[in-house]
Amino acid sequence: MCTMGKIASCEIAFIPIVSDDYVLQVDKVLNIIKSYDIEYNVGILSTTIRGDIGKIHDLTFEVYNSMDKECKFTMDIKLSNICGCD
């Protein structure tokens, strides 16, 4: 059990549906993730993040609100209360 507080793991897959430049859209999402003081690992199909659950919630809302102005998309979010920090 983690003694660091409410730590969670999250996997995010952001998929632009209607976009003139999907690479730019994905890069914008990655820049949002990188702006948070949170552990992250960029994979080929998704990004895994681990940290304070409040920051994870804030991050996902920021991605949604920012990208809603940019393109149509789906965002698959998988949350776990098993942080993997043992």
For residues 2 and 32, give the distance between their C-alpha atoms in angstroms, rounded to a whole number.
26
Domains and CATH numbers, the chain: 7-80 (3.30.70.930)
State the pairing for strand pair 39-42/72-80.
unpaired
C-alpha closest to that of 56 among 3, 5, 22, 1: 5
Percent of the chain having pLDDT more than 70? 90
Residue 20 has what pLDDT?
87
C-alpha closest to that of 49 among 61, 62, 37: 37
What pTM did the predictor assign? 0.86
Give the model confidence (pLDDT) of 43-81 as tens digits: 999 999 999 999 999 999 999 999 999 999 999 999 999
On whether the CB atoms of residues 63 and 29 are closer than 8 A, the answer is yes
